[in-house]
């Protein structure tokens, strides 16, 4: 079997696994990792949960660790174009061969009384590969939850809970209180916790769990703060440190708060576990790469992509467009999944656009563009349907003028298909 065939076959097998589990627990992933020799115990870990921003925070921490000279693994989801993006080492996706090798290693061990889900299998592959490649640190992003998320098998040096809003109700609960309880399930005994959570109800839940586990808790806005400077830099007022004139590679004001959580993590790690000089922190922030999140891929015309996959993310995108793209006429290419609050997301994003193209990703969870069209037409007069993402992106670009910008948003799956299309067109 050729290497390409083996790679395609293992991905086909994985994509045939159950996509989600309903609070399945950790028994299966624990058994798999035991069969692999518990590789997750051979390197230091940082665990990141939250509704929005967890990927940005995780990538920032990983970038800083790499800049400080540590071999650093990063596990995130979902991927945009290729599965390999989920498992990176020193900011490089692992090779096809290593995907196959990790898949075969996980496949060889006993999986217990039920078949693992896609996410459990992927998580085991990532933890195995980080051990095989002898990383110093692994930054691990949860999937959709925390307490019963497959990643919660690790024993982190630090836990981070970015923020919380109501999402995935069928898995996590119907209230902020219930969801906070699930996300805070990553908190470990006597292990520091950094959080950007703002809601009082959620703060109370996280605080009680941290107290019960004797876990020091550090809150954005209370124990550390950030201030944006007119120059485009920002100042971090930390737990014990103040760092001025910092520059973040990620666009959007909300990314400054995400950077603050990463910096608080660095302060805590520097006190105990890692050597992270300020020069590495500055360098790491400038070099963060987090594709598909306010990612500019062209200046002529100006084309940018942002997953904006839920209401909070849509609001952040709308703020960025309103504040930073005032001089552009914006074409919005948008597709949304069927489990998202699409009407509220459209009410947030459609008014900032000059024209709107509704589309649909190939995934079976994509919301029919006819439904989006009906809702968008109640808000804006210039709305058209182009169901295929690649065709929609091509039309938006071909009809763009010199003062136009094209924004592709609404789902990371839409962004992934758009990135493939843009690469064919020579833009990415």
pLDDT in tens, 66-78: 999 999 999 999 9
Q: Closest Cα partner for 85 from 55, 45, 128?
A: 55
Q: Mark whether 362 and 259 lie in a shared domain.
A: no
* Distance (Å, whole) CA 27 – CA 246: 43
Q: Mark whether 216 and 365 lie in a shared domain.
A: no
Domain boundary pick from 225, 260, 286: 286
| Predicted pLDDT of residue 271 | 86
Q: Mark whether 335 and 205 lie in a shared domain.
A: no
Mean pLDDT of 187-215: 96
Domain boundary pick from 238, 255, 286: 286
Q: Mark whether 222 and 302 lie in a shared domain.
A: no
Domain range for 50: 3-286
Q: Cα-flanking dihedrals φ and ψ of residue 46, to 5°? A: -125, 130
Q: Mark whether 276 and 146 lie in a shared domain.
A: yes
Q: Mark whether 145 and 270 lie in a shared domain.
A: yes
| Cβ(263)–Cβ(235) below 8 Å | no
Per-residue pLDDT band for 21 (boundaries 50, 70, 90) equals: low
When mean pLDDT is compared over 166-170, 271-275, 388-392, the highest value belongs to 388-392
* Distance (Å, whole) CA 88 – CA 90: 6
Mean pLDDT of 338-352: 95
* Distance (Å, whole) CA 12 – CA 419: 22
Position 170 pLDDT exceeds 60: no
Mean pLDDT of 35-46: 98
Q: Mark whether 272 and 303 lie in a shared domain.
A: no
| Predicted pLDDT of residue 20 | 62
Least confident segment among 154-163, 262-271, 298-307: 298-307
Q: For 385-428, how does the pLDDT look when each residue is reduced to its tens digit (9 = 90+)?
A: 999 999 999 999 999 887 899 999 999 999 999 999 999 998 86
Q: Mark whether 184 and 48 lie in a shared domain.
A: yes
In b/e form, how buried is each residue of 23-32, taking b as 16+ CB within 10 angstroms?
ebebebbebb
Per-residue pLDDT band for 169 (boundaries 50, 70, 90) equals: very low
Domain boundary pick from 286, 305, 328: 286
Residue 420 neighbours by CB under 8 Å, 6+ apart: 81, 390
Mean pLDDT of 144-165: 93
Domain CATH number, residue 222: 3.40.1190.10
Q: Mark whether 326 and 415 lie in a shared domain.
A: yes
**Percentage of residues in the chain with pLDDT exceeding 90?**
82
From its phi and psi, is residue 378 left (phi > 0), alpha (psi between -120 and 50) or beta? alpha
| Predicted pLDDT of residue 1 | 60
Position 22 pLDDT exceeds 90: no
Position 171 pLDDT exceeds 50: no
Q: How many domains, the chain?
A: 2
Domain CATH number, residue 366: 3.90.190.20
Q: Mark whether 120 and 16 lie in a shared domain.
A: yes
Q: For 122-137, how does the pLDDT look when each residue is reduced to its tens digit (9 = 90+)?
A: 999 999 999 999 999 9
Mean pLDDT of 17-28: 74
Mean pLDDT of 210-238: 96
Q: Mark whether 402 and 270 lie in a shared domain.
A: no
Mean pLDDT of 188-209: 95
Least confident segment among 13-27, 340-354, 366-380: 13-27
Q: Mark whether 257 and 347 lie in a shared domain.
A: no
- Cα separations (Å) of 290 from 138, 207, 215, 400? 16, 30, 29, 26
Question: Edge-to-edge, what's the strand order for the sheet holding 242-246?
Answer: 225-228, 234-237, 242-246
| Cβ(180)–Cβ(164) below 8 Å | yes
Position 173 pLDDT exceeds 80: no
Mean pLDDT for all residues in the chain: 93
């Amino acid at each position: 079997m050729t290497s390409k065939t083996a790679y395609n076959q293992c991905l086909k097998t994985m994509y045939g696994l159950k996509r989600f589990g309903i609070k399945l627990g950790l028994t299966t992933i624990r058994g798999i990792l035991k069969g692999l020799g518990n590789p997750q115990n051979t390197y230091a870990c940082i665990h990141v949960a939250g509704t929005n921003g967890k990927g940005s925070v995780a990538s920032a921490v990983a970038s800083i660790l790499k800049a400080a000279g540590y071999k650093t693994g990063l596990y995130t989801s979902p991927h945009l174009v290729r599965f390999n993006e989920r498992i990176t080492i020193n900011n490089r996706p692992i090779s096809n061969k290593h995907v196959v090798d990790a898949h075969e290693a996980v496949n060889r061990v006993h999986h217990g009384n039920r078949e693992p889900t896609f996410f459990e299998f992927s998580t085991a592959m990532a933890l195995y590969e980080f051990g095989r490649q002898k990383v110093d640190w692994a930054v691990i992003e949860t999937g959709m939850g925390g307490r019963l998320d497959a990643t919660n098998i690790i024993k982190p040096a630090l836990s981070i809970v970015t923020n919380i809003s109501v999402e995935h109700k069928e898995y996590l609960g119907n209230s902020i209180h219930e969801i906070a309880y699930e996300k805070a399930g990553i908190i470990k005994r006597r292990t520091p916790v950094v959080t950007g959570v703002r809601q009082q109800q959620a703060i109370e839940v996280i605080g009680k769990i941290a107290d019960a586990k004797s876990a020091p808790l550090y809150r954005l806005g209370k124990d550390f703060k950030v201030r944006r400077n007119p120059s485009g830099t920002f100042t971090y007022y930390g737990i014990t440190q103040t760092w001025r004139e910092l520059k973040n590679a990620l666009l959007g004001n909300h990314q400054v708060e995400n950077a603050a959580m990463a910096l608080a993590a660095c302060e805590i790690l520097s006190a105990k576990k890692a050597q992270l000089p300020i020069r590495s922190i500055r360098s790491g922030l400038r070099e963060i790469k987090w594709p598909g999140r306010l990612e500019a891929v062209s200046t002529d015309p100006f084309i940018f992509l942002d997953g904006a996959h839920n209401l909070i993310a849509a609001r952040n995108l709308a703020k960025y467009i309103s504040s930073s793209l005032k001089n552009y006429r914006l074409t919005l290419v948008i597709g949304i999944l069927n489990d998202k609050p699409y009407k509220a997301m459209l009410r947030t994003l459609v008014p900032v656009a000059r024209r709107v193209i509704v589309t649909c990703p190939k995934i079976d969870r994509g919301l029919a563009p006819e439904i989006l069209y009906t809702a968008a037409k109640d808000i804006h007069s210039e709305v058209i349907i182009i169901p295929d993402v690649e065709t929609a992106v091509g039309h938006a670009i071909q009809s763009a003028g010199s003062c136009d910008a094209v924004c592709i948003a609404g789902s990371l799956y839409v962004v992934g298909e758009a990135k493939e299309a843009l690469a064919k067109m020579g833009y990415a």
